[in-house]
Amino acid sequence: MRIVNISIIGFGAVGQGVARSILSKQEYLKKEGIDLRVVGISDSKGSEINTTGIDLKSALLRKKQKGSVGSNNALDIIGDVEHDIVVEATPTNINNGEPGLSNMRLAFKSGKHVVTSNKGPLALHFNELKEAAEDNGLFFRYEATVGGAVPIFNLVHETLAGNTVFGMEGILNGTCNYILTRMSEERMPYDLVLKEAQELGIAETDPAYDVEGIDSAIKLVIIANSIFGLDSTYKDVDVTGITKITPEALELANRNNYVVKLICEAREGKLTVAPRLVPKRHPLAVGGTLNVASILTDLAGRITISGRGAGSIETASSILSDILYIVRNS
């Protein structure tokens, strides 16, 4: 049995999803010969540390009942607790990347691999972080940052190794996709569908981050830097959101066998997020909250993958997969 010690920094929906996934996958991990131990968990209010492994069930319960995983604040988990992998699952901050950015820098400095779902630091300092990992001989895995459960980076870097990727088009924001799908199918105006999405918890109270295309643009930047080797930031993306789209426009599109989708496009070094006409039968024309990415390569041609782009367990799926990748390759 190989003991792998990890920490979970940020215990919101994603962090808790990771804990739940580890709990539900005990049998699987045992079969793989891996004893995955969470030695530290921290949230915005406190932390818990146990070098022989935290009881995840009671940690989840404490979080549910008291709103925090623990009251221990004396130790800095990343810097001071001996472990292998830091799961950085703090919320995305697009202004300065914090606290994720400092967490990741510290992790690499103290010799720990990083697996993250946090888009902020990658959208702002992708190449710096990538180099910090490489310089220290560590892994930096971020499948969960883009497309939730959809394995875009694994697909390109591992499965399609050897291919040259010409371009990528995709739907990377489930909230916008839900709103456009509902507007189109029910012929409802934007404001009404947005309210419905907010009631369902699909859209945030402040929806600007999603509907103005910001979230899509951040994900596109991460793709551009990771897959196309660019050194881009959010400012390099030409962004148009979906707030101006009318039900009449969707109806006109529908009558002519098109749907309108908020498409992220990376092509010839240019990054664009904009509503676009997609032929109804095109693989990019997925509905509901689904995400999709279509990659055009020289050898494999076009490859399209689609799946759930958000959700606690779905995102944890990508994180767990990244953890196992590191375990198997280190």
Partner 1 sequence: MIVSMTLELKDIPGQLVLALSPISEFQGNIMSVVHQHDEKTPRGTIPVQITFEIEHSVLNKLIDRLEKSGVKVARVGEERLRSTVSVILIGHIVHSDMGDTIDKIDSTGFAEVVDMSLSMPAIEKTSSAYLVINAIGEKELGKALDIMREVAGKKDLLLIEPIRLNSVGS
Q: Which residues bind partner 1 (CB under 8 A)?
A: 166-169, 240, 244-246, 248-249, 251-253, 255-256, 258, 260, 263, 265, 267-268, 274-279, 282, 284, 294, 296, 298
User: Is 17 one of the annotated binding-site residues?
Assistant: no
Q: Which residue's CB is nearer to partner 1, number 38 or number 292?
A: 292
The token pair at 104 is 């990741």
User: Is 11 one of the annotated binding-site residues?
Assistant: yes
The token pair at 253 is 């599109």
User: Is 137 one of the annotated binding-site residues?
Assistant: no
**What is the C-alpha separation between 17 and 133, in angstroms, rounded?**
25
Least CB distance to partner 1 at residue 253 (A) = 6
Annotated catalytic residue, options 109, 219, 244, 261: 219
User: Is 12 one of the annotated binding-site residues?
Assistant: yes
Known catalytic residue at 45: no
Q: What is the DSSP letter of 199?
A: H
**What is the C-alpha separation between 211 and 79, in angstroms, rounded?**
38
Least CB distance to partner 1 at residue 300 (A) = 12
Least CB distance to partner 1 at residue 251 (A) = 7
Q: Which residue's CB is nearer to partner 1, number 106 or number 277?
A: 277
**What is the C-alpha separation between 153 and 295, in angstroms, rounded?**
11
Q: Which is nearest to 102 in space by CA: 139, 83, 128, 84?
A: 128
**What is the C-alpha separation between 320 and 330, in angstroms, rounded?**
15
**What is the C-alpha separation between 9 and 43, in angstroms, rounded?**
7
Q: Which residue's CB is nearer to partner 1, number 73 or number 246?
A: 246
Buried b (16+ CB within 10 A) or exposed e, 40-67: bbbbeebbbbbeeebebeebbebbeeee
Least CB distance to partner 1 at residue 164 (A) = 9
Q: Which residues pair with 304 in a beta bridge?
A: 294
User: Is 237 one of the annotated binding-site residues?
Assistant: no
Q: Which residue's CB is nearer to partner 1, number 53 or number 247?
A: 247
| Bind-site residues for NADPH | 119
Binding-site annotation, residues: 10-15, 119, 204
Catalytic residues: 219
**Numbered residues of the known binding site for L-homoserine:** 204
